[in-house]
Structure 1
Amino acid sequence: MGNEGSKKSRSSTELTQKEIALLKANTGYSEKEIREWHAGFLRDCPNGKLDQKKFVQVYKQFYPEGKADSYCKYAFNTFDQNNDGSIDFDEFLLALTATSQGSLDERLGVAFDMYDTSGDGRIDSRELANMISAMYDLVGDNDRRGDRDPKRRAADIIDKLDNSGDNKLTKQEFVAGCKNDPVIRQILAPNV
């Protein structure tokens, strides 16, 4: 009808050859695998968009004892690359690939991007404490006494990893710190 000759909308439920080529180049998946992922995505999101409410529901299945809302807000905002309030299939598959198949540096980079809620390229103590609290909530961990206090833990981590002395972590400091300290990596990027 009116849109037949127009450019494909990002919310479309059909994959173009151009999209498939882009996803093949950026994910390592074959066309068959991309089409299988797409079919599964459409079963869960028939309109081709994953909204934040559905995103939280999916996380709650994996973490039934925890509260997923805070953590999911950060993750959702990281994966919603075009900031339209939903995750389309391209964003979904690229996020899935980055968090599950990427190199350790790439996966830690995604974790950094999620923590950097201000988008300034640095993580400060407040951002880190908020994310640590969200991770505790996600797994149902209510023990926040002593050295498990998110603010204290954030300050200790920044103190240990901050090479520049500005009380903030750059992506390079974050990645290097997580790679070099398994305890910190377990706290900041447990699934990496």
Structure 2
Amino acid sequence: MGNKQNKTASTELTAQHIAMLKANTKYSEKEIREWHAGFLKDCPNGKLDKKKFVEVYKQFYPQGKADNFCKFAFQTFDANNDGSIDFDEFLLAIAATSQGSLDDRLGLAFEMYDISNDGQIDQKELTKLITAMYDLCGETDRKGDKDPKKRATDIITKLDVSGDKKLSKAEFISGCKNDPVIRQLLAPNV
């Protein structure tokens, strides 16, 4: 992803692309071609930009504000950091969030939450993400136990095995697997 050949032929689905996508997803060639046709219908130039990404999310969450959450999700899916999501990045992200093992899907959620890319989620990062998730879902009651900062502190306190007031990827995955309430909050589609 991100090489010159890919950029110039971004709307073309080659045999090499199909082979790579089949090897990295559970989709058949027919399914890959169907996803590709739908992707090109929405993104004729073969690139999904941030604006279109937000529009798509808003369709799924019409009662909420998708912009804040989408900023984090977009950065995660834009694997080559070129400011757009090409078909390969799109399908691999879809597959990771829908076909991967529980650990893989929670790992992807962790990567989205690790805003600083330092391999840890701290309270500030978690607070930002919880706030963005509340915005996305239209949650306006943020008092008491639902305060994003308090909730982030409580989650880190509960899941932080090492005691460094941060969550490693292993702590995050283990904590989400062992606590259905936290998993529902931090990884609702997993």
**TM-score of the superposed pair, with normalisation by structure 1:** 0.95
Please show how residues 148-163 of structure 1 align to structure 2 within 5 Å: 148-163=146-161
Amino acid at match of 2:119: G
Please show how residues 4-43 of structure 1 align to structure 2 within 5 Å: 7-9=5-7, 12-43=10-41
Please show how residues 51-130 of structure 1 align to structure 2 within 5 Å: 51-130=49-128
Q: Following TM superposition, by how much is the alpha carbon of 1:7 offset from its aligned partner in structure 2, in angstroms?
A: 3.3
Residues 52 and 85 of structure 1 are in contact (CA less than 8 Å); yes or no, is this contact kept in structure 2?
yes
Residues 26 and 99 of structure 2 are in contact (CA less than 8 Å); yes or no, is this contact kept in structure 1?
no
Residues 11 and 47 of structure 1 are in contact (CA less than 8 Å); yes or no, is this contact kept in structure 2?
no
Find the aligned partners of 1:10 and 1:175 in 2 and give their Cα distance.
38
- 1:10–1:162: structure 2 CA closer, same or farther, 3 Å change rule? farther
Residues 66 and 139 of structure 1 are in contact (CA less than 8 Å); yes or no, is this contact kept in structure 2?
yes
Amino acid at match of 2:137: V
Find the aligned partners of 2:30 and 2:146 in 1 and give their Cα distance.
46
Please show how residues 123-138 of structure 1 align to structure 2 within 5 Å: 123-138=121-136
Q: Following TM superposition, by how much is the alpha carbon of 1:90 offset from its aligned partner in structure 2, in angstroms?
A: 0.1
Unmatched runs of 5 consecutive residues or more in structure 2: none
Q: Following TM superposition, by how much is the alpha carbon of 1:43 offset from its aligned partner in structure 2, in angstroms?
A: 0.2
Residues 56 and 72 of structure 1 are in contact (CA less than 8 Å); yes or no, is this contact kept in structure 2?
yes
Q: Give the secondary structure class of the aligned counterpart of 1:87.
A: strand
Q: Say yes or no: does 1:166 pair with 2:164.
A: yes
Q: Following TM superposition, by how much is the alpha carbon of 1:46 offset from its aligned partner in structure 2, in angstroms?
A: 0.1
- 1:39–1:59: structure 2 CA closer, same or farther, 3 Å change rule? same
Find the aligned partners of 1:11 and 1:49 in 2 and give their Cα distance.
11
Residues 23 and 94 of structure 1 are in contact (CA less than 8 Å); yes or no, is this contact kept in structure 2?
yes
Q: Give the secondary structure class of the aligned counterpart of 2:100.
A: coil
Residues 107 and 173 of structure 2 are in contact (CA less than 8 Å); yes or no, is this contact kept in structure 1?
yes
Q: What corresponds to 1:182 in structure 2? A: 180
- 1:171–1:11: structure 2 CA closer, same or farther, 3 Å change rule? farther
Aligned residues: 187
Q: Give the secondary structure class of the aligned counterpart of 2:7.
A: coil
- 1:62–1:173: structure 2 CA closer, same or farther, 3 Å change rule? same
Q: Give the secondary structure class of the aligned counterpart of 1:9.
A: helix
Amino acid at match of 1:159: T
Q: Following TM superposition, by how much is the alpha carbon of 1:28 offset from its aligned partner in structure 2, in angstroms?
A: 1.4
Unmatched runs of 5 consecutive residues or more in structure 1: 1-5
Residues 122 and 169 of structure 1 are in contact (CA less than 8 Å); yes or no, is this contact kept in structure 2?
yes
Q: Give the secondary structure class of the aligned counterpart of 2:39.
A: helix
Q: Give the secondary structure class of the aligned counterpart of 1:50.
A: strand
Q: Render the CA deviation track for 1:160-184: whole Å, top value 9, x for unaligned.
A: 0001111100110000000000011
Of 12-21 and 35-44, deviating more is: 12-21
**TM-score of the superposed pair, with normalisation by structure 2:** 0.96
